[in-house]
């Protein structure tokens, strides 16, 4: 089977146009979608991610609020900001840009976000809902990958999947989030050298190789 290039740029443009129209419709009804973004510290990559998210919101007609904190901020202040966004009726989704400084507990922060506003899909309740097949926000990485495969009409039933991520997100909810119960796996691989990862024939599992 020959390789196929997926035009993610074209798919993104189509989806953004659809989202913009939905946002326009909601705004006309007096319900402009609102996103709250929290950024802690000066991580250069995080700033790029946040800048792109804010631009995407502006292009789609979504109201966005950025809350910034220095890297030395106390955990309590971050949690208080999340609770304020939870209570704000003009904010319908909340994103906390990761990673966070060491004094701010990532798990506590993510679980403070209201489940119905957890658009990253990282709250333990949303992940649990995905695992048992209930509707929930899906983490964007697996959702985006599956959208691209669906865009080009690639069947996924019976396919093997190899998430290469040791954290509980974004890869672990891949299968239930996408309603693909007949996919093989997933099996996480934590090899520092991708060239040393070999495939075994048992249940599509991937393990670090020895050569």
Examine the residue annotation and report whether 178 is marked as an active-site residue of this protein.
no
> Among 117, 118, 120, 178, which one carries the catalytic annotation?
120
Residues 6+ apart with CB under 8 A from 56: 16, 62
Measured CA to CA in angstroms, residue 74 lies from 28, 87, 102, 139 at distances of: 40, 21, 10, 27
CA gap 95, 160 in Å, rounded: 31
What 3-state class would DSSP assign to 68?
Answer: strand
Q: What do you get for the CA distance between the two ends of the chain, in Å? A: 27
Distance in angstroms (rounded) separating the CA atoms of residues 113 and 93: 9
- Which residue in the list 53, 117, 118, 178 is annotated as catalytic? 53
59 is catalytic: no
Is 120 annotated in the active site?
yes
Q: Alpha-carbon distance 75 to 123, whole Å?
A: 17
Cis geometry, peptide bond prior to residue 170 (ω within 30 degrees of 0): yes
Catalytic residue IDs: 53, 97, 120
């Amino acid at each position: 089977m020959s390789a196929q290039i997926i035009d993610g740029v074209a798919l993104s443009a189509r989806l953004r146009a659809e989202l913009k129209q939905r946002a326009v419709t909601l705004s006309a009804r007096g319900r402009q979608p609102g996103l709250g973004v929290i950024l802690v510290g000066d991580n250069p990559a995080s700033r790029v991610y946040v800048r792109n998210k804010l631009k995407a919101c502006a292009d789609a007609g979504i109201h966005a609020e950025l809350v910034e904190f220095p890297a030395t901020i106390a955990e309590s202040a971050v949690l208080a900001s999340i609770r304020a966004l939870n209570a704000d009726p003009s904010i319908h989704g909340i994103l906390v840009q990761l990673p966070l400084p060491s004094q701010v507990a990532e798990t506590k922060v993510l679980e403070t976000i209201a489940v119905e506003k957890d658009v990253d899909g990282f709250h333990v309740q949303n992940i649990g809902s995905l695992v048992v097949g209930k509707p929930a926000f899906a983490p964007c990485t697996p959702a985006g990958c599956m959208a691209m495969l669906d865009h080009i009409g690639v069947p996924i039933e019976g396919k093997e999947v190899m998430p290469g991520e040791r954290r509980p997100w974004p890869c672990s909810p891949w299968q239930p989030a996408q309603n693909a119960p007949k996919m093989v796996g997933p099996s996480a691989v934590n090899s520092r050298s991708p060239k040393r990862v070999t495939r075994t024939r048992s249940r599509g599992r991937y393990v670090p190789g020895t050569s």
